[in-house]
Structures are given as structure tokens and as C-alpha cells.
Amino acid sequence: MESDTERSDRQKRKRIIKTAQKYIGTKYRTGGKTPRGFDCSGFSSYVFSKNNIKLGANSSSQSLQGHPVKIKDLQPGDLIFFGSKKRINHVGIVTKQSRKELRMIHASSSRGIIEEDITNSSYWQKRIVGGRRVI
């Protein structure tokens, strides 16, 4: 049976995803932190702030918050980070994780706020640095 804490966390995760999905189609803006335009960390920070969770101002600082989670153990609402071992340069919000699918919603510099499956994306797969749980 699910504990009250588990139920509360599951509800928070759903609210975070629902909040993020409201902004699909919003344009990308370098340094953007509002619905007039977002960059990746501005988007994750904004979505989490709407759910009373404070995140750092950039993807690098966000990658130090919460605690690390293996990619296979990510849950909706967790953060996923990209870059190299020396530098984090992108963050997305996980919307679905299963054996067949890893979906995230994020600010794409070319397409704005989108949700996509990155399971078979050679671009994203080779850039994954790790995941974090802040909920």
C-alpha cells in the first residue's frame, strides 16, 4: 500500500508534468525565464517554482540539487542533464520512463518547448550526464 509521502510525491510529480505541458510550443529565448520565452534552465526553474520547489538559475547549479538517480530509475518529474563530464549545458524534465521509452519536456533552442522521446536519439543519448531527484 502506498504511504502518504509516496502519494504526495506522486501528486507533486503529476502537477509538475501538467505545469510543464502547458508551455509546449512556447518559443526559445536565450536566458529566458518566463512564458514569453524560455531557455532550458529557465524553463525547469519556472515549472518547479510554480510547484513551490526552488531550483538554481542554470543547468549546472540545478545538477547539484536533490540527489542523483540512475537513468534507468528516473521517474516523471525528475531532472535529466546533458553535456560532458566537465560541463552541464542542458536540462530537461522527465515525463515518462519505461524499458521502451524515455521522454522529456525541455526548451529546444530550435523548436522551443517540446516533449520528445529520447530513447533512440543518438544526439541525446551520447550527451546524457545523469539525473537528479529534487522532489
- Work out the pLDDT band at 84, boundaries 50, 70, 90: confident
pLDDT attached to residue 86:
87
Q: What is the pLDDT of residues 91-107, one digit of tens each?
A: 999 999 998 999 999 99
Residue 52 CA, distance from chain mean position: 15
Q: Which residue has the higher pLDDT, 30 or 1?
A: 30
Cell numbers placing 72: 534507468
Residues 81 and 88 sit within 8 Å (Cβ to Cβ) = yes
Distance between CA atoms of residues 12 and 131, nearest Å: 18
Q: Identity (one letter) of the amino acid at 74?
A: L
Instruction: Work out how many domains the chain is built from and give that number.
Output: 1
Q: What is the pLDDT of residues 2-56, one digit of tens each?
A: 788 889 999 999 999 999 999 999 999 999 999 999 999 999 999 999 999 999 9
pLDDT at 110 over 80: yes
Q: What is the mean pLDDT of the chain?
A: 96
Distance between CA atoms of residues 122 and 134, nearest Å: 27
**Residues above pLDDT 90, as percent of the chain:** 93
Q: What CATH number has the domain bearing residue 79?
A: 3.90.1720.10
pLDDT attached to residue 103:
98
pLDDT at 1 over 90: no
Give the catalytic positions in this structure.
Answer: 40, 90, 106
pLDDT attached to residue 72:
95
The range of the structural domain enclosing residue 82 comes to 4-133
